[in-house]
């Protein structure tokens, strides 16, 4: 008997398809493949209460604009929206280096699988970030490698490099420990991220 709720499994199946199709580097493809192979081993779902932040009520539907998405991405977005009522949205804690003054009230992160997610686990983290317009996320690092899949306008940075705009369906890889950040412009930003971590 499956431990995983059907709607979550549908989301993960669509995420595997979309992340794999949009990956642009060998490192990203390797990380994605390893992550979804690990997800074959299901974990017990959490009973943690869902929570939504005001920024989601205002900006999520505009940032995740189904009409603007190509078919493959739209299917993943719809699968996410089906599980979104179960998600516990939260704000980032800790260092907020170089964040904009609008950051605290203008962002939300959702862990779908991973620590605090619908399916708590330590080896794979899949989640989403939402930024209201004109919000800069703080510079930050983390040990796990990471692949982003972007669903809106917005810009990203790595180390001291120039800001770049992947565009809708854009994907890029963050090696372990790299300094990175993101920022929205006049429109909200929405992106999924996948981190492949070592089992704790």
169 CB contacts (<8 Å, ≥6 apart)?
Answer: 22, 69, 70, 73, 149, 150, 151
**Rounded mean pLDDT of 24-31?**
96
Question: For residue range 53-107, what is the model confidence (pLDDT) as tens digits?
Answer: 999 999 999 999 999 999 999 999 999 999 999 999 999 988 898 999 999 999 9
Q: What is the mean pLDDT of the chain?
A: 95
Is residue 2's pLDDT more than 80?
A: no
What's the confidence (pLDDT) of residue 37? Answer: 97
Distance (Å, rounded) from C-alpha 11 to C-alpha 127? Answer: 11
What's the confidence (pLDDT) of residue 126? Answer: 98
What's the confidence (pLDDT) of residue 10? Answer: 98
What's the pLDDT band for 48 if we cut at 50, 70, 90? confident
**Rounded mean pLDDT of 151-162?**
95
Looking at per-residue confidence, does 160 or 32 come out higher? Answer: 32
Dihedral, CA atoms, 61, 10, 67, 105, nearest 10 degrees? 20
Is residue 15's pLDDT more than 90?
A: yes
Question: For residue range 183-193, what is the model confidence (pLDDT) as tens digits?
Answer: 999 999 999 99
Distance (Å, rounded) from C-alpha 55 to C-alpha 131? Answer: 8
**Rounded mean pLDDT of 105-125?**
96
DSSP 160: T
What's the confidence (pLDDT) of residue 1? Answer: 59
Answer whether 27's CB lies under 8 Å from 147's CB. Answer: no
What's the confidence (pLDDT) of residue 199? Answer: 60
Is residue 3's pLDDT more than 90?
A: no
Domains in the chain: ranges and CATH: 6-196 (2.60.120.10)
- Secondary structure element (H or E) that encloses residue 131, with its range: strand 124-131
How many helices (H) and strands (E) in the chain? Answer: 4, 8
């Amino acid at each position: 008997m499956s431990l995983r709720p059907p709607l979550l499994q549908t989301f993960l199946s669509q995420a595997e398809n979309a992340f794999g199709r949009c990956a642009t580097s060998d490192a990203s493809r390797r990380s994605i493949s390893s992550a979804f192979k690990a997800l074959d081993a299901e974990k017990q779902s959490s009973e943690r209460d869902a929570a939504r932040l005001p920024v989601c009520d205002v900006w999520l539907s505009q940032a995740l604009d189904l009409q603007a998405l190509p078919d493959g991405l739209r299917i993943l977005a719809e699968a996410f929206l089906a599980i979104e009522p179960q998600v516990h949205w939260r704000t980032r804690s800790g260092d907020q280096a170089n964040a904009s003054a609008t950051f605290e009230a203008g962002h939300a992160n959702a862990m779908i699988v991973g620590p605090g997610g619908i399916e708590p686990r330590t080896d794979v983290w899949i989640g989403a970030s939402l930024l209201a317009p004109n919000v800069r996320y703080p510079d930050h690092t983390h040990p796990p490698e990471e692949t982003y899949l972007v669903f809106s306008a917005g810009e990203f940075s790595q180390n001291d490099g120039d800001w770049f705009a992947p565009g809708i369906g854009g994907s890029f890889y963050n090696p372990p420990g790299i300094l990175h950040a993101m920022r929205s412009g006049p429109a909200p930003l929405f992106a999924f991220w996948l981190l492949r971590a070592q089992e704790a």
